C-alpha cells in the first residue's frame, strides 16, 4: 500500500446533521418530503445527484432554473453551518491514523464528492496533512463513478492496486471498487463490497490493512 485515500464527510468529520438541516429547509420550502430514509439514500452523492434523488422520492420535477436555485440555497445554508466546525470535530482515530501512515511512508489523499471539501479541511486545520486533495470541483462524474479516486491516484503517481480507500457510504465503496482499489468501510452501516469493515479509525495498523486482499 502506497496511498491511502480518505473520503471526507463521515470519515474525517461528520457533517450529517448540517447536511440534513440544510436539505430539510430546502425541501420544506418546496413543499416536498424529506426524512431519515431519504437522507440515507443521498449520503456520499454529489449535490446535484442528491437533489435528483430526492425529487425521484417525491415523484416531482423542478424547472432547470429552480433546480439550480435550490442547489445554491442548500449550499449556502450548509456553508453557513460549516463555519462552526473546528479541530474538535475531527472524528476519533483520524489524527492518530494520519500520523501513523505518515511515519510508515504512506502517501495521503482526500477523494471527496463535496465541493466544500477544501473549506472544511481549512476549518479542521488539516489541509497540509494531505499530499493531494481531489473534490467535487475537480471531477465531472460523482460517486459511484471512480473518477475522484482515479484522479487522486494519478495526482500522486500511484497505481490503483497500491491504493486503499476509507469510505462510509455505499456510493463511495462502489466508486473505490470500480476504480480497482481496496476499500475500508467506516461506520455502523452495512457496506456491500468493502474489503474490511471498521466502526471508526481507531487502532488501525498496516498489519490490519494488509489483510485487505483484493476480492475481484
- In whole angstroms, what is the distance from residue 10 CA to residue 43 CA? 9
Q: What is the DSSP letter of 89?
A: G
- Lowest-confidence range among 45-49, 117-121, 176-180, 212-216? 212-216
Sign of CA dihedral 25, 30, 31, 37: negative
Asked whether 78 and 19 are in contact (CB, 8 A), the reply is yes
- In whole angstroms, what is the distance from residue 3 CA to residue 108 CA? 6
Q: What is the pTM of this model?
A: 0.83
Edge-to-edge, what's the strand order for the sheet holding 163-167? 132-134, 107-111, 3-6, 163-167, 182-186, 196-198
Average pLDDT of the residues in 89-115: 96
The predicted pLDDT at position 94 comes to 97
64 part of the active site? no
Is the predicted pLDDT of residue 216 greater than 80, yes or no?
Answer: no
* pLDDT tens-digit map of 126-172: 999 999 999 999 999 999 999 999 999 999 999 999 999 999 999 99
One domain for residues 117 and 164: yes
28 part of the active site? no
Residue that finishes a domain, picked among 82, 108, 135: 82
Residue that finishes a domain, picked among 34, 52, 82: 82
One domain for residues 162 and 198: yes
One domain for residues 22 and 128: no
Q: What is the CATH number of the domain that holds 151?
A: 3.40.50.1000
Structural domain harbouring 186: 3-13+89-209
Amino acid at each position: 500500500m502506497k496511498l491511502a485515500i480518505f473520503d471526507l464527510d463521515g470519515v474525517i468529520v461528520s457533517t450529517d446533521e448540517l447536511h440534513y438541516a440544510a436539505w430539510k429547509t430546502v425541501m420544506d420550502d418546496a413543499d416536498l418530503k424529506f426524512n431519515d430514509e431519504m437522507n440515507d439514500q443521498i449520503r456520499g452523492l454529489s449535490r446535484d445527484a442528491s437533489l435528483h434523488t430526492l425529487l425521484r422520492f417525491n415523484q416531482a420535477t423542478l424547472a432547470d432554473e429552480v433546480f439550480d436555485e435550490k442547489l445554491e440555497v442548500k449550499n449556502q445554508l450548509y456553508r453557513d453551518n460549516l463555519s462552526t466546525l473546528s479541530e474538535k470535530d475531527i472524528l476519533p482515530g483520524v489524527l492518530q491514523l494520519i500520523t501513523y501512515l505518515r511515519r510508515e511512508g504512506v502517501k495521503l489523499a482526500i477523494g471527496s464528492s463535496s465541493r466544500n471539501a477544501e473549506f472544511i479541511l481549512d476549518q479542521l486545520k488539516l489541509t497540509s496533512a494531505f499530499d493531494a486533495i481531489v473534490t467535487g470541483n475537480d471531477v465531472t462524474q460523482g460517486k459511484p463513478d471512480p473518477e475522484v479516486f482515479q484522479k487522486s491516484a494519478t495526482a500522486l503517481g500511484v497505481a490503483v492496486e497500491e491504493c486503499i480507500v476509507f469510505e462510509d457510504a455505499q456510493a463511495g465503496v462502489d466508486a473505490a471498487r470500480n476504480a480497482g482499489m481496496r476499500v475500508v468501510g467506516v461506520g455502523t452501516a452495512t457496506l456491500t463490497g468493502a474489503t474490511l469493515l471498521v466502526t471508526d479509525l481507531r487502532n488501525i495498523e498496516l498489519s490490519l490493512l494488509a489483510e485487505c486482499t483484493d476480492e475481484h
